Chains A and B, each alone.
Chain A
Amino acid sequence: MTSEIIIQTIVSGLLMGFIYALVAAGLSLIFGLMEIVNFAHGEFMMLSMYLAFSLWVGFGLDPIVSLPVCVMLMFLVGVATHYGIIRHILHAPMLVQITATFGLAIFLRSLAQFIWTPNYFSIKDPIVTGRLEVVGIFIGVPQIVASAGCLLAFAALWLFINRTETGMALQATSQDREAASLMGIRTDRIYALGWGIGAACVAVAGVLVSNYYYIFPEVGVIFALIAYVTVAMGGFGSILGALVAGVLIGLVEALGGLLIDPAYKYPIIFSLYLVIVIVRPRGIFGRY
Chain B
Amino acid sequence: MRSTSEPPSGVQGPLREARAEPLRPPLTRGQWIALVAVMVFVLVYPHVFTSPYARHILVMIFIYGLAAQGWNVIAGYCGQISLGQAVFFGIGAYSAAFLYAKWGISPWVGMAVGVALSVLVALFIGLPTFRLRGHYFAIATLVIGEIGYTLVANWEFVGGATGVWIPIDRDSPWTTLQFHESKLPNYYLALGFLAAGTAIVAWLERSKIGLYFRAIREDPDAARSLGVNITAYKLVALSISAAFTSIAGSQIAQYVLVIDPENTFLFLISILIVLMTMLGGLGTLWGPIVGAGVLFPLSELTRVWFGGTGGAQDLMIYGALILLISVFWPGGLVSLVRRLVGR
Give per-residue flags for A19-44: 1 if the beta carbon is below 8 A from chain B beta carbons, else 0: 00000000000010000010000000
Is B142's beta carbon under 8 Å from chain A? yes
Q: Which of B1-28 contact A (CB under 8 A)?
A: 12-15
A277 contact set on B, CB distance < 8 A? 132, 136, 140
Question: Is residue A114 contacting chain B, with contact meaning CB distance below 8 A?
Answer: yes
Give the interface segment out of A67-75, A167-175, A187-195, A265-273.
A265-273
A18 within 8 A of B: no
Q: Which residues on the A side are within 8 Å of B151 (C-beta)?
A: 267
For chain A, the count of residues having a C-beta within 8 Å of the partner chain is 49
Smallest CB separation, A11 vs chain B (Å):
26
Q: Which of B128, B134, B146, B319 contacts A94 (CB 8 A)?
A: B134
B292 to chain A, nearest CB (A): 15
Name the B residues within 8 Å of A232 (CB-CB): 135-136, 139-140
Q: Contact check: which of A88, A117, A225, A228 meets B328 at CB < 8 Å?
A: A88
Query: Given the complex, which residues of A lie within 8 Å of B313, measured CB to CB?
Result: 110, 114
Contact partner, B326, options A103, A114, A278, Cβ 8 Å: A103
**A91 interfacial by beta-carbon distance below 8 Å:** yes
Cross-interface CB contact of A89 among B15, B314, B316, B326, cutoff 8 Å: B326
Tell me the bound Cα distance from A255 to B150 in angstroms.
18
Check if A103 sits within 8 Å of B330, measured CB to CB: no
In the complex, A140 has a CB within 8 A of chain B: no
Q: Cβ of A281 and Cβ of B132 under 8 Å apart?
A: yes
Give the number of residues in B that approach A within 8 Å (Cβ atoms).
50
A92 and B13 form a contact (CB under 8 A): yes
With known contacts A95-B282, A263-B154, A113–B323 Cβ distance under 8 A: no
Q: How many A-B residue pairs have CB under 8 A?
A: 151
How far is A100 from B319 in the complex, measured between Cα atoms in Å? Answer: 9
Contact A92 B140 (CB under 8 A): no
Q: Is the CB of A271 within 8 A of B147?
A: yes
Specify which of A91, A108, A228, A271 is in contact with B12 (CB 8 Å cutoff).
Answer: A91
Q: Considering the chains assembled together, what is the distance between the CA atoms of A267 and B146 in angstroms?
A: 7
| Contact call B319/A106, Cβ cutoff below 8 A | yes
Kindly specify which of B59-67, B110-118, B220-228, B271-279 makes contact with the partner chain. Answer: B271-279
List chain A residues, Cβ under 8 A from B138: 37, 94, 98
Decide if B247 is an interface residue (CB 8 Å cutoff). Answer: no
Question: Cβ of A37 and Cβ of B135 under 8 Å apart?
Answer: yes
Partner of B154, one of A111, A264, A281: A264
Residues of B near any A CB (own CB < 8 A):
12-15, 75, 81, 83, 128-129, 131-136, 138-140, 142-144, 146-147, 150-151, 154, 271, 274-275, 278, 282, 310-316, 318-328, 330
Would you give 5 A-B contacts (Cβ < 8 Å), ordered by A? Answer: A98-B274, A106-B318, A114-B311, A229-B139, A266-B146
